[in-house]
Amino acid sequence: MAQQSTAYVPSGRMTGARKRAIREAMTGYLFISPATILLTVFGLFPLFYAFYISLHRWRIKKGPFLGIKNYTKALGDPIDIFWFLVGVALLFLAWFIWRNMVKEHRAWAMALKFLAVIILIVGGWAAIAGFGRMVDSGDRQMFESFVITVFYAVGVVPLQLAGALLLAVMLYQNIKGKDWYRMIYFMPYVTITVASAGVFRAIFSRRPESIANQIFGLLGVPPQKWLQEPHGIWDLIFGHFGVNLKQVLLGWGLDPFLVFILLGPSLALISIMMYNLWVFIGYDAVIFLAGLGSIPSDLYEAAEIDGANRWQIFRHVTLPLLSPTIYFLTVITVMGVFKAINHVLVMREPAARGTVDTASLYIFDQFYLSTRFGYASAIAMVLFVVILLLTFVQNRIAQRRVFYG
């Protein structure tokens, strides 16, 4: 640090201004030093430390160096991982060729497009086959925890954002008692997670008189086991009509892991997703409301003069100008799903047989209950890479779609 500040000072006499600049810089470093030290120790260094831990056998105490063994235990044989990665790379290559050739109409372009399709098929096959073998030779439960996380994200993100946007647009109208509504919608977010999740445990209990069973009973749904129901949602729906979907799919010779995906999220997970919606829709709505408030009203007036109807105004004025907020909330929500742990910890029942264990919770279990520090760190690193890739993809999409006014 000191070296950097002297870089400002060439050799020779120090003028008053230089002295002052150095003093200023030293004050700056002094001011940020507590935060820098704390962040380095507890925020940045642990990332590298986690990688170091993941390369060892580490059960409470450090054991021998294992290299990538923890990773192959989780992800499967290196050769399978290799084929999976080759497949993914080919898919990207096919997409790249196709994108560049799509506007060309000459013969060689057609040939390249044909090539892209072949690469797509080969790549897709390699990726799927490689992944299937990874699941077989790796930690099936870990893969399931990632599938559960994806279920969670796919179920929650669109519903949460759409619901919040709807609420915000309704609240943005000229209505009485706006502050009251806003205050009430925001209450779930403020509540202590353990407490509200505990209450939801009672609401989604398997008793026939539980609140969930009474409300869904009004809609004609027979009493369910909710948080204690490990069966997938499609399995339950087909089962209601007397079809054992799981047996049918297994009878077709499908891989059990594929069947697990096809049967959908368990009702227990769906209960937790409903809790998640309850907590965050109001929070997202308050942020959307602020976003709506920042859209200048003359844009609406201009659109009105141009004869746009309400839907057109919403579609072509409100939505584009709201896109930074939508992007921000999407990122926050996806990150939130990957971090989801506290409420799942409270709401999971042994009877749900691990169908609600998100990736974060699986890591926590490996670490806290099984004391496999090395292995848990390896999965955590995998999760980190997945989150980085996801953020990268979201960024790419945002660059094209988000409009910063």
Partner 1 sequence: MASSTSTIQSKTGAQMAEKQPVSFWHRYKVGRILLYLALTFGAIVAVTPFVYMILGSLLTRGEMMLRKLWPRDPIAGLQNYVQAWNEANFNEYFVNSVLITTITIVGMLVVCVLAAYAFARIKFPGRDVIFGVFLATMMIPETILLIPNFLIVNRLDKLMRPIGLPWLNNWPSLTIPFMASVFAIFLLRQFFTTIPDELWDAARIDGAGHVRFMVQVVLPLSKAVLFTVIIFQFIGSWNALVWPLVVTSKPDWRPIAVGLYSFISEAGPELQLMLAGAVITTAPVLILYFFTQKQFTEGIATTGLKG
In the complex with partner 1, which residue's Cβ is closer, 87 or 366? 366
Helices (H), ranges, 173-266: 178-190, 193-203, 211-218, 233-240, 245-251, 256-262
Using rule CB under 8 A, residue 309 touches partner 1: no
**x/- letters, 327..346, toward partner 1 (CB under 8 A):** -xx--x--x--xx-xx--xx
Using rule CB under 8 A, residue 316 touches partner 1: no
Compute CA 367 distance to the chain's CA centroid, rounded to the nearest angstrom: 21
CA-CA-CA-CA torsion for 315, 318, 319, 321, nearest 10 degrees? 140
In the complex with partner 1, which residue's Cβ is closer, 177 or 251? 177
**Signed CA dihedral, 273, 275, 281, 286: sign only:** negative
Q: Are 156 and 272 in contact (CB under 8 A)?
A: no
Q: Go through the chain and tell me how many residues it has.
A: 405
In the complex with partner 1, which residue's Cβ is closer, 188 or 239? 188
Using rule CB under 8 A, residue 85 touches partner 1: no
Nearest distance from C-beta of residue 278 to partner 1, angstroms: 7
Residue 356 DSSP label:
T
Answer for which of 4, 11, 17, 404 binds partner 1 (CB under 8 A) is 4
Using rule CB under 8 A, residue 184 touches partner 1: yes
Number of residues binding to partner 1, judged by CB under 8 A: 100
**x/- letters, 232..271, toward partner 1 (CB under 8 A):** ----------------------------------------
Place of tokens 């209990």: 205
The kind and range of the H/E element at 145 are helix 140-172
Using rule CB under 8 A, residue 141 touches partner 1: no
Compute CA 113 distance to the chain's CA centroid, rounded to the nearest angstrom: 34
Mark the segment that binds partner 1 (CB under 8 A) among 105-113, 130-138, 380-388, 397-405. 380-388
Q: Which residues within the stretch 14-73 sit at the binding site for partner 1 (CB under 8 A)?
A: 21, 24-29, 31-32, 34-36, 38-39, 41-47, 49-50, 53
In the complex with partner 1, which residue's Cβ is closer, 143 or 373? 373
CA dist., res. 126 & res. 36, Å (int): 46
Using rule CB under 8 A, residue 404 touches partner 1: no
Answer for which of 203, 268, 321, 356 binds partner 1 (CB under 8 A) is 203
Q: How many helices (H) and strands (E) does the chain have?
A: 20, 2
Using rule CB under 8 A, residue 146 touches partner 1: no
CA distances from 262 to 220, 245, 246 (A): 25, 10, 9
